């Protein structure tokens, strides 16, 4: 059953507004997917795991590191307590962003991380990130969707819906998280294994 949070984050009306905007802009069929509000993890030289630039904000970072350390210790104790009853589990967090230093994926992802209502839009030749703002609002009261980043033609990353990845020419990659089962079901309308896409008409 769909959670209340998922229902609010993929509220009817928002996807349709993004579809209309991008179909008119690109003159192509589009697939629009609500991205999850996951805490994106980075494995890129020069970036910390949270995506911030290494070496920036060292004093502030020192205080945050201490606070995170305390929080992590408390969280770890809670994790051990819950894992003890469930037979344990993997403690590794999924990495979403990979690539070399100065990777092409970084600029789009830095822009995406500021979005309050992030959507991935794909067409046969283009890819974009669009921000609708908070989707807890009624769509009639929400601001117009804003394109925060787009790439067309040969500049667009390769999309794999099966692997849930965008891959740039320098082999940097974004493994995009979808917002719950609603988006998984929506994507299944257009995607068949192994990576066949049926674009909407």
Q: Which of 123, 177, 187 is nearest to 150 (CA)?
A: 123
Joined together, the tokens standing for residue 69 give: 């350390």
Q: Taking the model in full, what pTM does it have?
A: 0.80
pLDDT tens for the chain, 201 residues long, are 456 666 666 788 999 999 999 999 999 999 999 999 778 999 999 999 999 999 876 545 555 555 555 544 444 444 444 444 444 445 567 999 999 999 999 999 999 999 999 999 999 999 999 999 988 888 888 899 999 999 999 999 999 999 999 999 999 999 999 999 999 999 999 998 888 999 998
pLDDT tens digits for 127-140? 999 999 988 888 88
pLDDT tens digits for 26-58? 999 999 999 997 789 999 999 999 999 998 765
Q: Which of 171, 39, 159 is nearest to 96 (CA)?
A: 39
CB 121 within 8 A of CB 18: yes
Q: Which of 55, 43, 172, 33 is nearest to 108 (CA)?
A: 172
């Amino acid at each position: 059953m769909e959670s209340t949070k998922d229902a609010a984050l993929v509220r009817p009306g928002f996807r349709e507004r993004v579809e209309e905007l991008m179909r008119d802009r690109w003159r192509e069929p589009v697939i629009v997917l609500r991205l999850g509000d996951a805490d994106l993890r980075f494995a890129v030289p020069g970036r910390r795991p949270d995506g911030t630039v290494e070496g920036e904000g060292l004093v502030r970072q020192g205080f945050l590191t201490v606070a995170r350390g305390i929080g992590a210790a408390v969280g770890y104790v809670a994790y051990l307590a819950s894992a003890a009853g469930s037979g344990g589990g993997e403690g590794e967090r999924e990495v979403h962003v990979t690539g070399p230093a100065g990777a092409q994926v970084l600029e789009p992802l830095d822009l995406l991380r500021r979005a309050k209502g992030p959507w991935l839009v794909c067409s046969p030749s283009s890819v974009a990130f669009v921000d609708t703002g908070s989707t807890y609002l009624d769509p009639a009261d929400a601001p117009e969707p804003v394109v925060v980043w787009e790439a067309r033609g040969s500049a667009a990353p390769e999309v794999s819906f099966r692997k849930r990845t965008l891959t740039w020419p320098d082999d940097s990659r974004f493994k995009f998280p979808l917002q719950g089962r609603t988006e998984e079901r929506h994507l299944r309308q257009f995607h068949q294994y192994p990576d066949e896409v049926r674009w909407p008409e």
